[in-house]
Every structure is written in structure tokens, then in C-alpha cells.
Structure 1
Amino acid sequence: MNLGVDKMKGRPQIVLDIAGVLLSNMSLTCWKDMSEETNLSAESLKVHFAGIKRKLWTGMMREEEFWQSLKEMYPELSISRAKDILYHSIVPLPAAQYLERWSESADIHLLSNHCKEWIEPNLSRLSSFTKSITISNQVGLCKPEIEIYQRVETFLVAGEEVLFIDDQEKNLHSAKLLGWETLLADKEGDWVNEVESLLI
């Protein structure tokens, strides 16, 4: 995981993914909890979500339309209960507590493929330490499309080193094309130590 670079100089620009990096990803457990009181399988709910995720992430499908699509396909599913389960499944990961310290020596920017409504309850704390937040369903673009990285680039301080952190390898390539350093966020959270060594 070592980046092969020394401690970052100047005022580094740190661009972090949100889901899987700062907040938990929606897991199969989330879909299992939704299906508990119905005859549905968690896998069928997960497959349904996977089929429309890109539309949701790019804003082509509004959040309320997502819930409507679930209700139409699975009438027995309680949407209010499903919403509660989903919102409560998205919680801060340990790395989120480092943002305040990192923001003292770097500018923090967030870039996420997500539905803003789902992560909004956690955004107020995260935004306290960030210079910009770009969420895919708000801008009509999603990773790994290079255009969304270029949009984030307009918020970065020119000439400073940039480090992009994401939990999916496929999302790192576009950042590399822009000359950014990249770091894959491992599930164990060891990547946090790497950032610490680069900044502190």
C-alpha cells in the first residue's frame, strides 16, 4: 500500500470517497433486514438495487422514485421500515474521526457515488472539515467517469499535491490520469496509517 512518496509538502489536497472510506457501505445485511418481515430474499433486493444503481447515482432516478420502484416490485415491503433500515445502516467508519486532524495540515475534499439523501444525516459533521463535497446524484456524473474528477479539480488549490483515496480499485485510474497520487482504502483500515505518515 505504500505510495513510495515522502511526507506531502505545502498544503496537500486530500480527496476522499465517502462510502467504504468514511461511512459504511450498504451491505447484504441491510437487504436481509429489509426482507425479514416479507417473503422476499435479500439477494433479490440487492439485485434490484444493482440494476438501477447507476440511474440513482447519476440523478436520473430521484430517491423517491427508487422507493416507488421497490414498492411496485415488492408490494409487501414496508417502505417506511425499509428507509429506517437503510438510513441506520450507514454509519461513520473509524477513519471519519481523523478528518479534523487531517484538515489542520491539508485541504479535505469529498467525492462520492451516492444518493445525497442517504448520507445527509452524516454530512454535517463531515462537512465541518472539508473544502468541497461532490456527490454523484447532485452533479449527474459518477466515478469512474473522469468528468466528475475534473469537477472536483476545480475546487483544488493549483500546484499542490493531490491524494485520492477510494475503496474500489476501478475508481483510481481516472485520478491517476489527472496526475493525482492514489491510495486504495482497505477494509481493515490500514490506509489511515499511510495518510497519517504522509501528513503528520
Structure 2
Amino acid sequence: MEAGVAVVFDLGNVLLPIRLDLTYAAFANYTSYYSPEEIHYITEQEALWVPYESGLESCDQFRDRLRSRFQMECTDEEFDHAFSALLLDFPADVVELIHELKSSFPIYLLSNTSKIHSNRFLTNDSLFNLFDQVHLSYEMGVSKPDQVIYQQVVNSNQLQNQRVVFFDDNQANVRSARDFGWDAVLINPSTSFTQIRNHLHQYVN
């Protein structure tokens, strides 16, 4: 193993399959004014999830803001279920992958996420207990691709003198991480684990 190499993973579509369209469709069930496609477009154009995932508003504030924006009629429980529809099941071999890599590298997680979502996926103790540290954007007060979030990971884990390899499925996040100095790899969700193993092979003797 090359000395001083740390590995940082994004979560969605890297370790955990997600389908955003399922959430847009679920939200559309609670409004007569917007289609799933329109909800998708508006969500991205107006970056509707960013304040919440950056820890700048509470769950209640986020729910109320999106219900108002899309004129949705739903309870908090219905909202949370629809918002979490995008989260699919963890692959059966994800724990095996992290176990395998942990024998050679310190392993960290860095995810743009929310309290509503993390309340659901963090129940997988067999996976998340393997990470040396779990970094969630809403707890950090900033989200990717802002480079402040990468600096927080470096500072929190004393990685100043280490080479950091970062896997993410978002081009903007990968670009900003590269500019920050990390070896950032753009993940194709359909070949995620193969990409990860192939890229890290160069760092293992």
C-alpha cells in the first residue's frame, strides 16, 4: 500500500443506489399542479434541496417550503415517505467492499444529505460502523461542491499530509474536489464497485 492514502466516498449512486425520479413522482401524487417532470426541473433549477442539505433549515421548514412551492397536500409522514422514495436497497456486497478496502486504507464517507434521509439509511449499522468517520452535509453546515466541505474533512481527520482519493457520481463535485487537490473519480453508478476497485489497485502494493 502507498503510505498516506485515504479514501472518501460519496454515498448516493456510489455505495447506495438512488433514483431521484421516484421522489419526483411521489411528490406529484400530492399536487394537481405539477407533473413529475416539472417537479424535477424546478427542483434542479431552483436548487430546492440545497438549503436543507446544507443544514440551513429544519425538517419542518423544508417540508413547509416544498409543500408551498409545489402546492402539495400531504402530512409530514407522507412527505418523508415520498422524499425518501429515491433511496433504494444497499447492494448485498457493499459491506464486503468496505471491509476489503478497510484493510488497506482509512475509509471516510462524505454525503450531501438530509436528516430525513439519514434517519433511514443510517440504520444499516453493519456498513456505517466500518467508516473511520461519517460526514453528512446537513451536520457540517455546507454541501458539495463548495470546497469548504473538503477542507472540513481534511481538518477533522488530520489528512493534511495524505493523498485523498474521492469517489462521487456528480461531475461538479468531482471537478471541485480535483481543484482542491484530491484524486477525484467520477463514478458511473452501473459500474461503481468495479471502478472503485480498479482505481484503488494502483495504491496497493
Cα drift, residue 76 of structure 1 = 2.8
C-alpha contact 1:26 1:86 (8 A) present in aligned 2: no
More divergent stretch after superposition (19-28 vs 97-106): 19-28
C-alpha contact 2:167 2:185 (8 A) present in aligned 1: yes
What is the DSSP-based 3-state SS (H/G/I as helix, E as strand, rest coil) of the residue aligned with 1:183? Answer: strand
Cα drift, residue 96 of structure 1 = 3.1
Q: For 1:116 and 1:195, locate their aligned partners in 2 and report how far apart those are by CA, in whole Å.
A: 31
The TM-score normalised by the length of structure 1 is: 0.81
Question: For the structure 1 residues 70 and 158, does the alpha-carbon distance in structure 2 shift closer, same or farther, using more than 3 Å as the test?
Answer: closer
- Tell me what 2:120 maps to: 121
Instruction: Count residues with an aligned counterpart.
Output: 193
Question: For the structure 1 residues 141 and 198, does the alpha-carbon distance in structure 2 shift closer, same or farther, using more than 3 Å as the test?
Answer: same
- Tell me what 1:33 maps to: 26
Q: For 1:92 and 1:14, locate their aligned partners in 2 and report how far apart those are by CA, in whole Å.
A: 23
Q: Could you tell me which of 23, 38, 49 is aligned with 1:44?
A: 38
Alignment of 1:82 with 2:79, yes or no, is: yes
- Give the gaps of 5 or more residues in structure 1: 1-7
Alignment of 1:110 with 2:109, yes or no, is: yes
Question: For the structure 1 residues 198 and 122, does the alpha-carbon distance in structure 2 shift closer, same or farther, using more than 3 Å as the test?
Answer: farther
Q: For 2:31 and 2:52, locate their aligned partners in 1 and report how far apart those are by CA, in whole Å.
A: 24
Q: Could you tell me which of 67, 71, 80 is aligned with 2:67?
A: 71
Mapping of residues 161-172 of structure 1, within 5 Å: 161-172=163-174
C-alpha contact 2:21 2:36 (8 A) present in aligned 1: yes
Alignment of 1:96 with 2:94, yes or no, is: yes
What is the DSSP-based 3-state SS (H/G/I as helix, E as strand, rest coil) of the residue aligned with 2:63? Answer: helix
Q: For 1:184 and 1:119, locate their aligned partners in 2 and report how far apart those are by CA, in whole Å.
A: 23
Cα drift, residue 142 of structure 1 = 1.4
What is the DSSP-based 3-state SS (H/G/I as helix, E as strand, rest coil) of the residue aligned with 1:133? Answer: strand
- Tell me what 1:20 maps to: 13
Q: For 1:166 and 1:139, locate their aligned partners in 2 and report how far apart those are by CA, in whole Å.
A: 18
* Letter paired with 2:178: K
What is the DSSP-based 3-state SS (H/G/I as helix, E as strand, rest coil) of the residue aligned with 2:49? Answer: helix
Supply the RMSD in Å over aligned alpha carbons.
2.5
Alignment of 1:54 with 2:50, yes or no, is: yes
Instruction: Map Cα deviations across residues 14-62 of structure 1 (whole Å, 9 max, x no partner).
Output: 0111122122334112221332365341123334533222212212222
Instruction: Map Cα deviations across residues 119-158 of structure 1 (whole Å, 9 max, x no partner).
Output: 2322234321111122111111111111110110121445
The TM-score normalised by the length of structure 2 is: 0.79
More divergent stretch after superposition (146-155 vs 117-126): 117-126
C-alpha contact 1:23 1:91 (8 A) present in aligned 2: yes
More divergent stretch after superposition (12-21 vs 186-195): 186-195
